[in-house]
Amino acid sequence: MLSNFLTPALLGLVVRFDALGEILVTTLIFVVIGLLFFTLAYFILSRIFDIHHEIEEDHNTALAIIIGAIMIGISIIIAAAIHG
């Protein structure tokens, strides 16, 4: 009875268990690459703008919104590049 509820279709699994390891390794590699690019982009932005001083000490809300929007845009680009 319980085995009827543990079928891959009912569990919502998209891949077979024998291919799951390869997919997990590939996903982890792309996550690391994406995080490296995101860190590089943040490092470049922190060199262009004095983010710490402007946002935390001067309370520059406009710059915080712009930096946040740039980071979201970079994240979308990285996600699209990883997805293919």
Structural domain boundaries in the chain:
16-83
pLDDT over 60 at 2, yes or no? no
pLDDT over 80 at 17, yes or no? no
The predicted structure's pLDDT at residue 46: 83
pLDDT-based confidence at 10, cuts 50/70/90? low
Complete DSSP assignment for 6-49: TSHHHHT--S-GGGHHHHHHHHHHHHHHHHHHHHHHHHHHHHHS
81 in Cβ contact with 72 (< 8 Å):
no
pLDDT tens-digit series, residues 37-79: 888 988 888 888 788 888 888 888 988 898 889 889 888 887 8
